[in-house]
A and B are shown apart, each in its own frame.
Chain A
Amino acid sequence: MNTFKIGGVHPEPNKLTAGKKIETLGLPQQAVFPLSQHIGAPAVPCVEKGDVVRVGTKIAEPGGFMSASIHSSVSGKVAKIDTIVDASGLRKPAIFIDVEGDEWEPSIDRSEKLVLQSTKTRDEIIECIKNAGVVGMGGACFPTHVKLCPPKECTIDTLIINAVECEPYLTADHRLMLEHADEIIIGIKVILKVLGIDRAVIGIEANKPDAIELLKSKTSMVSGIEVMPLQMKYPQGGEKQLIEAVTGRQVPPPPALPANVGCVVQNVGTVFAIYEAVMKNKPLIERIVTVTGQNVKKPCNLKVRMGTPVSQLLEYAGGMPEDTGKLISGGPMMGRPLLDETAPVVKGTSGVLLIPEKDAIRREERNCIRCAKCVQACPMGLEPYLLATASESGDWECAEENWIMSCIECGCCQSTCPSRRPLLDWVRLAKNRVGGIIRARNAKK
């Protein structure tokens, strides 16, 4: 079985919810939609206080080329447009909607019936995806319509479907594949049509044999779609790692894109969203969220309307255990801590993880002993200890020279460090600063 060559770690998978069917969570009392749920410019609200909206009504337009629109996932009245503390602790503007009833936009096809064919042309499909506000559901939230229009000079030959879900604890993609395999395959066909190619590879880690078998049987009659089981290794779900695992090609350092090596990668969640957007005319208003943790009473996979407060998810899962030390949005490796449980579910919330206090405490940090475990673990071939030291002393030049912008923030370095140094924190700081310096430099030119 294939995998990527350098670095990587093997965290405990802890997929507690792999066997739990997707359940639908009820409506919230108030839904909150932050305006920047994606990479790029924040969306611009197109509703005002007091406006009545339905499920699927567009409430914010894209704020630029690299941006995505946002739709209401509930019906009701716009209560206010105010700031909210988002998952990363920063204040962001958001639209608050008080829920009244559950009235859908009539254009949305709500039936369970599978739509197999569409007469839409390539441009119409892209417009459709753009209008539906679809973004990458793996966590990075890159606007999908941008990703589906690779630069003209690149020739794309392979579509890679990211069904790896290498992050421990999370099972949202796994359940989606088991319960909506047909929709995903239709979605893949739609993307192939957009890209004008005929080869797609679904990369799945070997710890999901049921999904591999199901998709293999479904695709056996379809030409051009291949299911490729991959060896288990974190961070295989990283775009560049997955391309290497599947095709053996290496993406050059930024600003090169996967398109430069002829690949486009889409998450299975995104594929499902594309199916719903194109075939059912349904914007991105729901997503699957895994609520899990060692001490959670009822860990589950939930189909949640966007904007639902995390507290409602926790309530459904049997409440927050008393000894919870950390509440994380996403998985244990790449997730961000949630400051409080009132934060809303956004397009990038793949899971809510509760870590018991005894596991949450970071032990005291010691000096670097130059063991180079972080260098071995880094899947991008960087030297995290060096980058962290450069960041600590504010040496942004050194950080840039040592390819800090290639870092994918997977956290392998931090998890292997025997001195428990907060390497990723420092690297994130340096990446932030160096990114600013590079942008300023480009703006000058």
Chain B
Amino acid sequence: MTFILTAVLVLGATGLILGLVLYAVSRKFKVEEDPRVGQITELLPGANCGGCGFPGCAAFAAACVKAESMDNLKCSACKSEVMQQVAAIAGHAIEVGVEKIAVVRCSGSCQSRPRLRTYDGARSCAVAAMMNGGETGCFFGCLGCGDCVSACKFDAIKMDPETGLPVVDQDKCTACGACVKACPRHIIELRNKNKLDRRVYVSCVNQDKGPVAKKACDVACIGCGKCVKACPFEAITLENNLAYIDFEKCRLCRKCVDECPQHSIIAVNFPPKRVVEEAPAAPETAPVETESTENK
């Protein structure tokens, strides 16, 4: 009986002494952490995507608390409300930024851009871009090996098996920019989300002269400049045989979309146009509308 009692007492005493030691040590070496860092980390998505420029969400939270203002601090994966909450916890004021979304600027599907050869090397756009000019006649367009898909931490990009092009899920995309960096052909761009997710953009990055571009792809921008003339807001510029719509200046009037002979300007998330009776241009807009629904 005493044997058991001794054992219990000895163990109990050891536990008590060690507990006291641990308590003393934890008091002595306590790390003062700002409780706000923990709160902010909870709010952040926790994907550690690195889109903010910090090694992970916790590092970003610490930077927010430490910084004097929220300038240059932006979690691209958070909605603006969340960023406001973060700023409130950190004690900074913040302007409501414009939300962005990744946009794939290539429409060269299997039908519009015939495959001239087969690439059978490693399934990586980076390798394909380094080794050869891709499978089609276009030396600027999508290579279709899906580097952007594997770069996306939010499962927002998928390859469309029919067109062979990546499709961005606009609900999931957080505009962190990982795909933009991953694409060796610089096809993906972050553009303003706008009201109702409406976007107008040139879905082509081909800088070849018109005839060469047209031969390689049915929907390539040929640099004709019609859209530049049509734009009432001077939002479109033509450089290296390629039109580019400045999303800050674009007012989504869609005049360029109707004007483009190659249908390479795409309007997304607009309601179908009412058919104007006397306008002969109506049938021409039809294919653009179908493309826009494909891109949803």
Chain A contact residues, CB within 8 Å of chain B: 85, 88-91, 336-337, 339, 361-362, 392, 422, 425-426, 428-429, 432
Could you pull out 22 A-B pairs where Cβ atoms are within 8 angstroms? A85-B139, A89-B131, A89-B132, A89-B134, A90-B133, A336-B131, A339-B117, A339-B133, A362-B120, A362-B121, A422-B122, A425-B121, A425-B122, A425-B124, A426-B122, A426-B127, A428-B130, A428-B131, A429-B122, A429-B126, A429-B127, A432-B130
Closest A residue, CB atoms, query B184: A429
Minimum distance in angstroms from B120 CB to a CB of chain A: 5
Residues of B within 8 A of A425 (CB): 121-122, 124, 127, 131
Q: Is the CB of A428 within 8 A of B127?
A: yes
Minimum distance in angstroms from B132 CB to a CB of chain A: 3
Q: Is the CB of A337 within 8 A of B127?
A: no
Complex CA distance for A426 and B120, rounded to whole angstroms: 13
Residues of A within 8 A of B121 (CB): 362, 422, 425
Complex CA distance for A90 and B140, rounded to whole angstroms: 11
Beyond the given pairs A85-B139, A89-B131, A425-B122, 4 more chain A to chain B contacts, judged by CB atoms under 8 angstroms and listed by A's residue number, are A90-B133, A422-B121, A425-B124, A426-B127
Complex CA distance for A88 and B139, rounded to whole angstroms: 12
Q: Give B33-59 interface residues, CB cut-off 8 Å to A.
A: none
Secondary structure at the A interface, as helix, strand, loop or mixed, is mixed
Complex CA distance for A426 and B124, rounded to whole angstroms: 9
Complex CA distance for A429 and B129, rounded to whole angstroms: 10
Residues of B within 8 A of A88 (CB): 131-132
Minimum distance in angstroms from A86 CB to a CB of chain B: 10
Complex CA distance for A85 and B132, rounded to whole angstroms: 10
Minimum distance in angstroms from A94 CB to a CB of chain B: 15
Instruction: Give the most central of A91, A422, A425: most B CB within 10 Å.
Output: A425
Q: Is the CB of B133 within 8 A of A429?
A: no
Minimum distance in angstroms from A360 CB to a CB of chain B: 8
Q: Is the CB of A85 within 8 A of B133?
A: yes
Minimum distance in angstroms from A398 CB to a CB of chain B: 17
Minimum distance in angstroms from A54 CB to a CB of chain B: 32
Q: Give B131-167 interface residues, CB cut-off 8 Å to A.
A: 131-134, 139
Minimum distance in angstroms from B153 CB to a CB of chain A: 14
Complex CA distance for A336 and B120, rounded to whole angstroms: 13
Q: Is the CB of B122 within 8 A of A337?
A: no
Complex CA distance for A429 and B117, rounded to whole angstroms: 21
Instruction: Give the most central of B122, B127, B132, B134: most A CB within 10 Å.
Output: B122
Q: Is the CB of B126 within 8 A of A91?
A: no
Complex CA distance for A339 and B139, rounded to whole angstroms: 12
Residues of B within 8 A of A336 (CB): 131
Closest A residue, CB atoms, query B132: A89
A-B contact count (CB 8 A): 41
Residues of B within 8 A of A392 (CB): 122, 124
Complex CA distance for A443 and B23, rounded to whole angstroms: 54
Residues of B within 8 A of A426 (CB): 122, 124, 127
Complex CA distance for A89 and B133, rounded to whole angstroms: 5
Residues of A within 8 A of B120 (CB): 361-362
Q: Is the CB of B130 within 8 A of A429?
A: yes
Complex CA distance for A425 and B127, rounded to whole angstroms: 6
Residues of A within 8 A of B133 (CB): 85, 89-91, 339
Q: Give B88-143 interface residues, CB cut-off 8 Å to A.
A: 117, 120-122, 124, 126-127, 130-134, 139
Residues of A within 8 A of B130 (CB): 428-429, 432
Q: Is the CB of A337 within 8 A of B124?
A: no
Closest B residue, CB atoms, query A86: B133
Instruction: Give the most central of A337, A339, A429: most B CB within 10 Å.
Output: A429
Closest B residue, CB atoms, query A433: B126
Minimum distance in angstroms from A432 CB to a CB of chain B: 6
Closest B residue, CB atoms, query A362: B120
In the complex, the 8 A-B pairs of residues with the closest C-beta atoms, listed nearest first: A89-B132, A89-B133, A425-B122, A422-B122, A425-B121, A362-B120, A425-B127, A429-B127
Minimum distance in angstroms from A154 CB to a CB of chain B: 33
Minimum distance in angstroms from A21 CB to a CB of chain B: 34
Residues of B within 8 A of A432 (CB): 130
Residues of A within 8 A of B139 (CB): 85, 91
Instruction: Give the most central of A336, A339, A362: most B CB within 10 Å.
Output: A339
Instruction: Give the most central of A85, A89, A337, A362: most B CB within 10 Å.
Output: A89
Closest A residue, CB atoms, query B212: A83
Complex CA distance for A428 and B134, rounded to whole angstroms: 17
Closest A residue, CB atoms, query B182: A394
Complex CA distance for A437 and B177, rounded to whole angstroms: 22
Residues of B within 8 A of A90 (CB): 133
Residues of B within 8 A of A429 (CB): 122, 124, 126-127, 130
Complex CA distance for A392 and B127, rounded to whole angstroms: 10
Closest A residue, CB atoms, query B126: A429
Residues of A within 8 A of B127 (CB): 422, 425-426, 428-429
Residues of A within 8 A of B134 (CB): 89
Closest B residue, CB atoms, query A425: B122
Residues of B within 8 A of A422 (CB): 121-122, 127
Residues of A within 8 A of B126 (CB): 429
Complex CA distance for A111 and B168, rounded to whole angstroms: 67
Q: Give B202-216 interface residues, CB cut-off 8 Å to A.
A: none
Residues of B within 8 A of A361 (CB): 120
Complex CA distance for A185 and B127, rounded to whole angstroms: 42
With A422-B121, A422-B122, A426-B122 as contacts: A339 and B132 at CB distance below 8 Å: yes
Minimum distance in angstroms from A322 CB to a CB of chain B: 16
Complex CA distance for A364 and B32, rounded to whole angstroms: 55
Complex CA distance for A85 and B136, rounded to whole angstroms: 13
Residues of B within 8 A of A337 (CB): 132
Residues of A within 8 A of B124 (CB): 392, 425-426, 429
Minimum distance in angstroms from B56 CB to a CB of chain A: 17
Complex CA distance for A85 and B208, rounded to whole angstroms: 13
Mask of B232-269 contacts with A, CB within 8 angstroms, 1/0: 00000000000000000000000000000000000000
